[in-house]
Amino acid sequence: MNASKQREEALSGLYPKMVQWRRYLHRNPEVSYQEKETAAFIVGVLTELGCEVRTGLGGYGLIATIKGALPGPTVALRADIDALAIQDQKQVEYASQVPGVMHACGHDGHTATMLAIATYYASVRDRLAGSRRLLFQASEEISPGGALPLIEYGALEGVDAVYGVHLWTPLPYGVVASREGAMMASADEFSLEIVGKGGHGGLPHDTVDAIVVGSDLVMALQTIVSRQVNPLQPAVVSIGTFQAGHTNNIIAGHALLKGTVRAFDPTVRDTIRERIQATVSHICGLYGAEGKLDYRMGYPPVVNDGQEVERFFRVGRQLLGEEAVQTASMVMAAEDFAYYLHHKPGCFIFVGAGNEALQSCYAHHHPMFDLDERAMLVSARLMIELAEDYAASPNEAIL
């Protein structure tokens, strides 16, 4: 029996445990920056496995290291552990027991998958070439996120390559996808307070109407992408909040706008920021209002290394077959896995978890979100095979 087949059998034997872990986490979710019990649960499993564990890294992030007996590279694998402030509406026995909080993005599945990977590697230390560094990252869902603190605490020191997956319901179970270069967008956010001059609805000439100023700005900001960005460079400017006024016959003196900016190219990202600043200054000035803009740069784009994407396609096809491995579409959602790829070569991968028959067809962040749990097994196999292929490449060390 070859090594890959042995790994497949070992992970298949761990699949019931993966499901058990995932459902426990699904019942007991914790939002970003509050993952205390989630981290404690992970540490409990890792400690039983005899892993070296560093905890409390930038909140509740933690790093587990499994050192092999043979020389070889250090490969990092990452899972995020946080949930979202969404009420779970599923009628299943493992539904969230925490009001207003649920795993609506699959991070429970990511964590369970990584615990299975840890279990496997702990069992083959005597045959393992190099080290495997398992990153259980907190607070992915809310910027500034948990990746940067882990990096600051040395998560990537001595690492040769880094891989991550996202269970992805837009793809059907059995399909995996990635792409070279930019795959997921940057995610910046801004809030704009417009300070005008309120007054009587029948005397508009004595006021500076913050609603009119804000309305003009909403329309003007849409022209940044449509008229000031190369149409071959995807980008989005969206206004999600417009708050102003309290009653029908009083002109509002204040308004608050909040929005998001998405882009794949750093130059486009910077251009949009500059154009938003200029547009706010110009239009507020025309009306005699003051515009207080708070612009925050969030996660950068996820940009995959070309050589590691080639590895993904080769290893993925060997593992799952030609038709199961696809080129991912570019996605305007963001991921702080991007920070790891700024420092080390690696690859981020979508693993199909959608299945209409199992009601796992809802969008991420939807209150009915669920997974085809078999996708966890695909994820575990894929990440381990990528790590072992990397380890075998320079020195022919094979588990």
List pLDDT tens digits, range 222-256.
999 999 999 999 999 999 999 999 999 999 999 99
Main-chain phi, psi angles of 314, to 5 degrees: -65, -50
Q: Quick one: how many helices (H) and strands (E) in the chain?
A: 9, 16
Active site residue 385: no
CA angle 58, 59, 61 (to 5 degrees): 75
CA-closest candidate to residue 134, choices 152, 153, 156: 156
Rounded Cα gap, residues 379 and 393, in angstroms: 21
Q: Which residue's entry shows tokens 């069992």?
A: 123
CA angle 355, 360, 366 (to 5 degrees): 145
Q: Which tokens hold the place of 397?
A: 């060390």
Residues 6+ apart with CB under 8 A from 267: none
Question: Rounded to the nearest 10 degrees, what angle do helices 210-228 and 266-287 cross at?
Answer: 150
Torsion of CA 316, 320, 323, 324, to 10 degrees: -80
- Would you state the pLDDT for residue 2? 87
Query: Reduced to 3 states, what is the DSSP secondary structure of residue 18?
Result: helix
Q: Is the separation of the CB atoms in 301 and 233 below 8 Å?
A: no
CA angle 240, 242, 245 (to 5 degrees): 160
- Would you state the pLDDT for residue 393? 84
Active site residue 82: yes
Torsion of CA 101, 376, 361, 100, to 10 degrees: 0
For the chain (399 residues), the mean pLDDT of every run of 10, in chain order, is 89 98 98 98 97 94 97 98 98 98 98 98 96 98 96 97 98 98 98 98 97 98 96 97 97 98 97 98 98 98 98 98 97 98 98 97 97 98 98 61
Rounded Cα gap, residues 202 and 55, in angstroms: 62
Give the total residue count for the chain. 399
pTM of the complete model: 0.94
Catalytic residue among 8, 35, 80, 82: 82
- Would you state the pLDDT for residue 394? 62
Question: Which one-letter DSSP state was computed for residue 218?
Answer: H
Residues 6+ apart with CB under 8 A from 63: 53, 54, 57, 133, 134, 135, 136, 150, 153, 154, 155
CA-closest candidate to residue 133, choices 317, 332, 344: 344
Catalytic residue among 8, 30, 88, 140: 140
Residues 6+ apart with CB under 8 A from 305: 180, 341, 345, 346, 347
Is residue 266 reached through a cis peptide bond, with omega within 30 degrees of 0 on the bond before it?
Answer: no
Residue 170 host element (H or E)? strand 161-172
